[in-house]
Amino acid sequence: MKKTVMLCLSVLTGLGMLFANGTSEKPAAASTATSAVASATTASGLPALTKDTIKVGFIYGSPVGTEGYSYCHDLGRRALEKEGIKTMYLESISETSACEKAMRDLINQGCNVIYATSFGYGEYVLSLAKEYPDVYFNHATGYQTAKNVSTYMGRLYEAEYLTGMVAGMMTKSNQIGFVASFPLPEVVRQINAYMLGAKAVNPKATIEVKWTNSWYDPATETASAKDLVNDGCDVLGAYCDTMNPQSAAARMGKWVTGCSSSGYDALPDKYLTAPLFHYDVFYPENVNQILDGTWKADSKWEGIDHDVVDIDKITNCPPEVSEKVMKARQDIIDKKLDIWKGELKDNKGKVRVEAGQTLTDSDLTSLDWFVDGVIGSVK
């Protein structure tokens, strides 16, 4: 559903402004956002930028760390640095007015391109976009665009379906656990896709969901994972900014699947695979569109066929698991497999997608129900 009430959470206190070279500095005195841009404009009406004049700022909702959601975005930022693009970032920025201050600080440091990577930043992005009409704003997972605001998101649900297949084949109890952040359509999509993948290979499989109502809350994530394991779940997935839930489950001897980036190095003995965002592919492509004047203020949503998302290597599994998953992966690329094709029932028995029909992108961006097999509710 298109939320009009912003979900706000203060994940950590304080702002740490970090330059890409790893040094820390205080914000410089305010400067105009267009001070470093050329006078020419593009077809979109925004200032034309070059490698010498572009400066890209990122804000993350959690610490960058070494795996998880913010980390995969930062891999994309580092890919820009490798191409000679100047970047800056701020981490652990809550979905409150703190994110507005963070973006303003970046703009005052000369950033003329902003990537805001959390859903709850949306209203602040739109507000600042009016104040700074010459800045390119890009909002991850959002749904509202403007003249100088684009939204972007990978079709992670494709990789979640494949990951769910792995979970469905590896569970012995037929009980899979899933720790999730907020009951937003973005998150509901991932859980439903995971369930459909598990059920495709194991009709007896179920998924029990625990909400944390936070993108980053280590204590609640850990407690939720322990509850799921104690309920009998022997495989655990999650959709949070970090792998705290998976780490807790792995310590209890259970299989885990990651989210957003690879978790193999952190949990090599209990890690199965993960759905991956490849923002190291997306960000260079998107910035190059800004540089060549083809950037548009639209909604960008690409999947496995564009290398923006994928499934991680499959480990600790019999060979036939990988074989089945890779075949399904190719079928998704070849458009032979539509994971949303009906008949689909919700977890209360109501037919939501008739046989032969499928969910549209509009349906997917307003998804507010769980498919059959999911234990839990969308509140």
Q: State the Cα–Cα distance between residues 149 and 269, nearest whole angstrom.
A: 43
What is residue 42's predicted lDDT score, i.e. its pLDDT? 82
- What's the mean pLDDT in 232-249? 96
**Given the DSSP bridges, would you call strands 255-256 and 113-116 parallel, antiparallel or unpaired?**
unpaired
Question: Above 70 in pLDDT, residue 14?
Answer: no
What is residue 9's predicted lDDT score, i.e. its pLDDT? 32
DSSP state of 314: P
| 346 φ, ψ (degrees, to nearest 5) | -85, 180
What is residue 77's predicted lDDT score, i.e. its pLDDT? 98
Q: State the Cα–Cα distance between residues 119 and 137, nearest whole angstrom.
A: 14
> For 300, what's the count of Cα atoms within 13 Å in the CB-facing half-sphere?
20
3-state secondary structure 51-92: CCCCEEEEECCCCCCCCCHHHHHHHHHHHHHHCCCEEEEECC
- What's the mean pLDDT in 9-21? 33
Q: Tell me the Ramachandran region of residue 136: left when phi exceeds 0, alpha when psi lies from -120 to 50, beta otherwise.
A: beta
Q: State the Cα–Cα distance between residues 150 and 135, nearest whole angstrom.
A: 11
Question: Above 90 in pLDDT, residue 22?
Answer: no
What is residue 4's predicted lDDT score, i.e. its pLDDT? 33
Return the structure tokens found at 116. 């805001």
Q: State the Cα–Cα distance between residues 74 and 80, nearest whole angstrom.
A: 10
Question: Nearest to residue 7, comparing CAs of 220, 172, 187?
Answer: 187
Question: Above 70 in pLDDT, residue 38?
Answer: no
CB neighbour class for 301 (10 Å; exposed up to 12, middle 13-18, buried from 19):
middle
Provide the 10 A C-beta neighbour count for residue 132: 18
- pLDDT band at 69, cuts 50/70/90? very high
Lowest mean pLDDT, pick from 22-36, 37-51, 66-80, 210-224 = 22-36
Residue type, 340: W
Express each pLDDT in 312-366 by its tens digit. 999 999 999 999 999 999 999 999 999 999 999 999 999 999 999 999 999 999 9
State which H helix or E strand residue 116 sits in: strand 113-116
Question: Above 90 in pLDDT, residue 36?
Answer: no
State which H helix or E strand residue 186 sits in: helix 185-201
Q: State the Cα–Cα distance between residues 255 and 217, nearest whole angstrom.
A: 21
- What's the mean pLDDT in 110-131? 98
Question: Nearest to residue 10, comparing CAs of 94, 115, 92, 76?
Answer: 94
DSSP state of 371: B
3-state secondary structure 302-346: ECHHHCCEEECCCCCCCHHHHHHHHHHHHHHHCCCCCCCCECEEE
